[in-house]
Chain A
Amino acid sequence: MASTQVIPTRMELTRLKRKLVTARKGHKLLKDKRDELMRQFLEMVKVNMDLRKGVEAGIHAANRNFVIAKAGMDEATLHTALMAPKQEVSLEVGKKNVMSVNIPVFETKTRTADENDIYSYGFAFTSSDLDGAVKSLADILPDMLKLAEIEKACQLMAAEIEKTRRRVNALEHVIIPQTMEDIKYISMKLDENERSSQVRLMKVKDMMLKEAHGWE
């Protein structure tokens, strides 16, 4: 249904025709964007899920190791052993642009050159289980960082896909049909006006002829 606010003028008709062309072009572009984003997202989210499962299993195992380590020594010794960490991880944050979505790229640096330099205690008073526990946690750290990067990227892309999908649907189901309807309404109205002025002119001509010459 044509909305009642449309003014049936030639200027408006030209404007609407231009709007329709733009809307169609935009619709096509956004649809392509949505499809490509979706493809990349689906690839990424599979990696995300695998990484997450790996990390969760790893942390679970590490936690178990820590519990065993804790059982083998008294709490004060454990606290002292872990009190002053030797290693320090710092983070560099970069950005990557994937289909106009900015996703983070994390890079880590360890303070000491040897990243396996993680045992912050002498080995004399701690149980060997603790060494194993610390090692098992250290082993999953790279995966944890990758997980942070990918999971964040997935969240951002999911939000962008949702937005793009809404735009595509709005264009496809609202803006484009509405504009076409308006164009139709205006051209019909203009035709109608033309016909009515034609008829009026013919009528006037008849009346004038009748007055001047008495023609019927």
Chain B
Amino acid sequence: MYKIGVLGDYDSIYGFATLGIETFPVDASGAGEKIKELIAGDYRVIYITEALASEIQPELEKYEEQITPALILIPGITGNTGDGVANVKASVEKAVGSDILFGEE
């Protein structure tokens, strides 16, 4: 039985607690450690706010080619940085060689 977690600044994520998803308010300095800890625990889906994710990008890339955990970016309270969409575009680019689907958007 695995669990779902949310990482980010407190204001962006406190609402998720009501849904029964565990929230972990962290800042950039503690996020890398926290992710390792969560993955070593039973967290297999972890949502991360875009703002936080951009700070710990190298840490996230390590898990990209593993089947789990799925690290998914979500917009935080300060707004959408576009990193999530950019990631999808990046995977198209990786697979096809150039972004033929969403390039013009």
Interface residues of A (CB under 8 A from B): 38, 41-42, 45-46, 48-49, 52-53, 55-56, 59-60, 62-63, 66-67, 82, 85-93, 95, 102-104, 106, 108, 110-111, 118-120, 133-134, 137-138, 141, 144-145, 147-149, 151-152, 154-159, 161-162, 165
Q: Which residues of B contact A155 (CB under 8 A)?
A: 64-65, 91
Residues of B53-90 at the interface with A, using a CB-CB cut-off of 8 Å, are: 64-65, 67-68, 70, 72, 74-77, 79-80, 84-85, 87-88
Say whether A89 contacts B4, CB under 8 Å.
Answer: yes
- Verify if B40 is at the interface (C-beta below 8 Å from A): no
Say whether A85 contacts B17, CB under 8 Å.
Answer: yes
User: B45 CB to closest chain A CB, in angstroms?
Assistant: 5
24 residue pairs of the A-B complex, CB under 8 angstroms, read: A38-B96, A45-B91, A46-B101, A52-B84, A53-B85, A60-B79, A60-B80, A63-B75, A63-B76, A85-B17, A85-B18, A88-B20, A89-B4, A90-B3, A91-B1, A102-B67, A104-B67, A106-B44, A120-B18, A134-B15, A137-B19, A145-B4, A148-B45, A148-B72
Q: How far is the CA of A197 from the CA of B14 in the complex (A)?
A: 89
- Verify if B39 is at the interface (C-beta below 8 Å from A): no
User: A172 CB to closest chain B CB, in angstroms?
Assistant: 15
Q: How far is the CA of A134 from the CA of B97 in the complex (A)?
A: 41
Q: Which residues of B contact A38 (CB under 8 A)?
A: 95-96
Q: How far is the CA of A82 from the CA of B57 in the complex (A)?
A: 30
- Chain B CB within 10 Å, residue with most, of A46, A89, A149: A89
Say whether B2 contacts A157, CB under 8 Å.
Answer: no
Say whether B84 contacts A56, CB under 8 Å.
Answer: yes
Say whether B88 contacts A152, CB under 8 Å.
Answer: no
Closest 7 pairs between A and B when the two form their complex, measured CB to CB:
A87-B20, A152-B70, A158-B91, A158-B95, A161-B95, A91-B2, A88-B20
- Chain B CB within 10 Å, residue with most, of A42, A49, A155: A155
User: A201 CB to closest chain B CB, in angstroms?
Assistant: 58
Q: How far is the CA of A212 from the CA of B76 in the complex (A)?
A: 104
Say whether B2 contacts A93, CB under 8 Å.
Answer: yes
Q: How far is the CA of A59 from the CA of B19 in the complex (A)?
A: 13
Q: Which residues of B contact A91 (CB under 8 A)?
A: 1-4, 44-45
Q: Which residues of A contact B95 (CB under 8 A)?
A: 38, 41, 45, 157-158, 161-162
Q: Which residues of B contact A134 (CB under 8 A)?
A: 15, 18-19
User: A122 CB to closest chain B CB, in angstroms?
Assistant: 14
Q: How far is the CA of A45 from the CA of B100 in the complex (A)?
A: 12
User: A63 CB to closest chain B CB, in angstroms?
Assistant: 5
